[in-house]
Amino acid sequence: MHSLWKMIREDLANARDHDPAARGDLENAIVYSGLHAIWAHRVSHWLWCRGVKAPARILSQFTRFLTGIEIHPGAQIGRRFFIDHGMGIVIGETTEIGDGVMLYHGVTLGGQVLTQTKRHPTLGDNVTIGAGAKILGPITIGAGSAVGANAVVTKDVPPDHIAVGIPAKSRPRKPDEKLKLVDPDCYGHGENK
C-alpha cells in the first residue's frame, strides 16, 4: 500500500514537471487522461503477467474507451511515464519503455509484421516522442533522444539524438541543448532545478 501511494505521488509530481499547465495534484489526478491510462495499465500489466489475460485486455480496452489511449497489457513501461493530452495513442504488446519517458498525443509505438515476435519499439530512459510521431518495428530509440512531431521512424535512433521527418533522419543533440517543449527544465520547475 505504501509503495502504491509512493508511485501515485511520483506520477503526480512527474505530471507537474512535464506540463506547464499542470496545477494542483487533486485537479491533475482528476483531469489528466495520461495519468488514468498509466494507472490502469499498471493494473492490467500486473494481471497479464499473472496469466489473467482476458480481464487484463478488457481493462485495457475499457481504459481506451475512457481516455483514447490504447496500451496493450503486455507492454513493459518504466517509472515516471507521462502522456500529455492523451487521445490517439497506441502502444503495442511487445513495446518496452524505460524510465522518464514522455509521449504527446497521436503517438503510435507499433509493429510492421503480424507474427508473434518482438515487433514493437524499445524506448530508452528519458526519451520524448513528439505529437503524431509513428515509431514502427522492433527498433530502439536510445536514451535521452527525442523524436520530432509527426516523424515516422523505422530505424534505430542512437542515444542523445533528435530524429525528425519522414522517413526520420537523426542528428546528435548538442551537449547543452535545451529542447523546446521536451525538457522539464525549460519550465523552470524540473527535478534538476
Ligand X SMILES: CC(C)(COP(=O)(O)OP(=O)(O)OC[C@H]1O[C@@H](n2cnc3c(N)ncnc32)[C@H](O)[C@@H]1OP(=O)(O)O)[C@@H](O)C(=O)NCCC(=O)NCCS
Kindly list the residues in this chain that would bind ligand X in the complex (CB under 6 A).
85, 104, 130-131, 146, 148-150, 162, 164-165, 179-182
Whichever of 6 and 178 has its CB closer to ligand X, that residue is 178
For 19, 28, 99, the CA distances from 23, given in Å and listed in that order, are 9, 7, 23
Whichever of 2 and 180 has its CB closer to ligand X, that residue is 180
Task: Please state the closest distance from residue 18 (CB atom) to ligand X, in A.
Answer: 11
Give the separation between CA 193 and CA 191, rounded to whole angstroms.
Answer: 6
Instruction: Check residue 88 and report its DSSP letter.
Output: S
Instruction: Check residue 118 and report its DSSP letter.
Output: S
Task: Please state the closest distance from residue 162 (CB atom) to ligand X, in A.
Answer: 5
Task: Please state the closest distance from residue 41 (CB atom) to ligand X, in A.
Answer: 21
Whichever of 118 and 169 has its CB closer to ligand X, that residue is 169
Burial tier of 53 (Cβ tally within 10 Å: 0-12, 13-18, 19+): middle
Task: Please state the closest distance from residue 141 (CB atom) to ligand X, in A.
Answer: 13
Whichever of 97 and 182 has its CB closer to ligand X, that residue is 182
Give the separation between CA 173 and CA 145, rounded to whole angstroms.
Answer: 8
